[in-house]
Amino acid sequence: MNLIELHDINREFRESKTNRLEVLKGINLSIEEGDFVALMGPSGSGKSTLMHIIGLLDRPTSGLYRLHGRDVSELGDAERAHLRAQKIGFVFQTFHLLARLTALENVLLPTMYTHIPQRLKRAKEIARDLGLTDRLNHLPNDLSGGERQRVAIGRALMANPDLILADEPTGNLDSKTGQQIISVLKKLHREGRTIVLVTHDQAVARQADHILSMHDGRITNPERVKAKVR
């Protein structure tokens, strides 16, 4: 079953009245449930923009996006936000934790925006699985890069989403810690979640099931997509 379907997705930015920047050009893509896809490409290839569109943070200029078989262009902003809260987990390169909240409070943050039953219990379980039990009362400033990213992953998991989108999750980490994070993602994948990972790093990308290459707003290896083995 296709979790994500993109047909002819274009994303254009209007820099000024005469200047148009085409960041995504005719993207066609399907990602099955339970897939682990790495998105690779040089700076400016549009991979982050594609991620944002998949994650419902941005709208394409034209084209069709079906999530769980549903055309998302019909959804209003509030519905997209709810969908994000319930079905999608984000992990960012710079972690994006709230500095004034403790690790535990950061993990619990999604509960402000969607109902999660027994949230404290769940948060502590997630934290335990990520090896964070002793660090829960610390502020992000007191945590190492790896710990911060694990907190971010914990936050992403609170609503038990099907889809995890990770934008350069190891970019700010050393290779050893980075690998720890990738192992966590692999474990999440084994639990049945769909992972889409943007990365510069070949070593990281090779650990995914499929690699999509992007250049100049297009996917350069569409045949890889079609030749998925599941």
Partner 1 sequence: MLILANIKAAFRSIRSNMASSILTVLMVMIGISSVVVLSALVEGLKQDITSQIETFGTRSIFVVPIDTTNLDNSQFNPTQLFGASSITENDYELVKGDPDILAATKFSALSAVPKAGDKVFNQALLVAGNANFDKASNYTIDQGQMFATDNPLEREVVIGTRVAKALFDTEQAIGKKFMLGRYEYSVVGIYQKQDIGQGQTSPFGGSIDVNSIIVVPYETARRDYGSLQINRIFGQTTVNADPSIVAEHLTAALQKNHGDTKDISVLSAKEILSLLDSVLGSLAAASSGIGAISLLVGGIGIMNIMLVAVTERTREIGIRKAIGATRSAILLQFLVEALVISVLGALIGIGASLGVVAAIGAKTSLSPIITQSSMMLAVSIGMSVGLVFGLIPAIRAARKDPIEALRYE
**100 lies in the site for partner 1, by CB under 8 A:** yes
**112 lies in the site for partner 1, by CB under 8 A:** yes
**114 lies in the site for partner 1, by CB under 8 A:** yes
Answer yes or no: are the C-beta atoms of 159 and 89 closer than 8 Å: yes
| Neighbouring residues of 209: CB distance < 8 A, sequence distance ≥ 6 | 35, 36, 37, 228
- The structure tokens listed for 23 are 């960041």
How far apart are the C-alpha atoms of 172 and 145, rounded to whole Å?
A: 7
Q: Which residues of 141-173 are buried (b: 16+ CB within 10 A; e: fewer)?
A: eebebbbbbbbbbbbbbbbebbbbbbbbbbbbb
Considering only residues 53 through 82, tell me which ones interact with partner 1, judged by CB under 8 A.
Answer: 55, 57-58, 77-78, 81-82
Answer yes or no: are the C-beta atoms of 126 and 157 closer than 8 Å: yes
Nearer to partner 1, 88 or 208 (CB): 88
Answer yes or no: are the C-beta atoms of 15 and 182 closer than 8 Å: no
Draw the binding track, 25-54, toward partner 1 (x: CB under 8 A; -: no contact): ---------------------------x--
Considering only residues 150 through 209, tell me which ones interact with partner 1, judged by CB under 8 A.
Answer: 155-156, 159
Nearer to partner 1, 59 or 224 (CB): 59
> Which range in 63-71, 94-102, 132-140, 201-209 contacts partner 1 by CB under 8 A?
94-102
To partner 1, the closest distance from the beta carbon of 176 in angstroms equals 27
**Stretch (H or E) spanning 37:** strand 36-40
To partner 1, the closest distance from the beta carbon of 128 in angstroms equals 21
Q: Which residues bind to partner 1, rule: CB under 8 A?
A: 52, 55, 57-58, 77-78, 81-82, 84-86, 90, 92, 96-98, 100-101, 109-110, 112-114, 155-156, 159
